[in-house]
Amino acid sequence: MGINVEIAQDWHAALAALSWQYDLGVEDVVLDAAVNRYDLPEATRTAKLEAPVPGPGPGAGIVPVPKGRSPSPAIAPQPVVAAPAVDVVAVAQAAAGRAGTLDALREALATFEHCDLKRGARNLVFADGNPKARVLILGEAPGRDEDMEGLPFVGSAGQLLDQMFAAIGMSRRSPDAQAALYITNVLPWRPPGNRDPEPEEIAMMRPFVERHIALVDPQVIVAMGNAPLFALTGSKGILRARGSWGQAFGRPLLPMTHPAYLLRNPIAKREAWADLLALQVRLRG
């Protein structure tokens, strides 16, 4: 039986193209045709927040045609005018500061147009759990499962997180504030390919995190991993910081290793268990 060389070549070319896309962070097929979300009209992204920019608008640059003469196709050179730089952290501070409730904060995030991650995400991942909880868990950023469901910590790391806290009698589903958890992330949109959050992204989202914590008003914050530790304290190194109580926004802070790290390094579960017991003692005291 002969091999159809053309089909075999197509197959290899398609596989190479697919593998290249996967390396770039494309993991799911959503539509039949590609949509470049970065091609959204600039106006819809920035119009509300930037000062009007003099320069080319609709029809700008077209040479006026005297009455009675047919229009010439000549186009005048377009002046290049840079848009004024926007202080995105200040914009985030103002937007977060105006939010007087959790619903308003969710809306403020949903309409915040300065974080590029939003354009690549399927869903805004705001929070889960009981807003009356004494313990607020701050994670890093949504992964694939969280992006699909619009809820934090629902993938394999989230399942481990639920089991860990169940071991000390706490749950995001508990209606009892004493035993309840409230869970949110530093970034509300999934970074492509689950890459680490960039410092600029953390700085931009930090005002929302601060407001989120103020509105929930937890007794204790748990920072799950490096990005939340950095967002809350400005320092890195979760493996050194874990297990020692610190402070964030005037509240007790317990840094812990991320459950995804524990899945990769089961030996570290022993220390995580010690951290959970320290949390339990603190809450009892």
Which of 140, 147, 162, 201 touches ligand URA by CB under 6 A?
Answer: 140
Q: What's the rounded Cα separation, in Å, for the pair 52 and 7?
A: 54
Residues 164-193 that bind ligand URA (CB under 6 A): 185
By beta carbon distance, the residue nearest ligand URA is 139
CA distances from 35 to 29, 117, 119, 143 (A): 11, 15, 11, 21
Q: Contacts by 102-108 with C-beta closer than 8 Å and gap 24+? A: 102/127, 102/131, 102/212, 102/215, 102/216, 105/208, 105/211, 105/212, 105/215, 108/208
- Output the smallest distance, CB 262 to ligand URA, in A: 12
Report the residue number, 185 or 257, with the smaller CB distance to ligand URA. 185
Report the residue number, 115 or 141, with the smaller CB distance to ligand URA. 141
Q: What's the rounded Cα separation, in Å, for the pair 190 and 1?
A: 48
The conformation of residue 1, written as its DSSP 8-state character, comes to: -
| Stretch in the footprint of ligand URA (CB under 6 A) among 33-41, 76-84, 145-153, 207-215 | 145-153
Which of 91, 115, 146, 212 touches ligand URA by CB under 6 A?
Answer: 146
Residues 209-268 that bind ligand URA (CB under 6 A): 224
Tokens of 251: 């509240």
Query: Binding of ligand URA at residue 129 (CB under 6 A)?
Result: no
To which residue do tokens 């040479």 refer?
A: 63
How many positions of this chain bind ligand URA (CB under 6 A)?
Answer: 12
Which of 96, 117, 135, 143 touches ligand URA by CB under 6 A?
Answer: 143
Q: What's the rounded Cα separation, in Å, for the pair 142 and 164?
A: 19
Query: Binding of ligand URA at residue 139 (CB under 6 A)?
Result: yes
List of residues contacting ligand URA (CB under 6 A): 139-143, 146, 152-153, 157-158, 185, 224
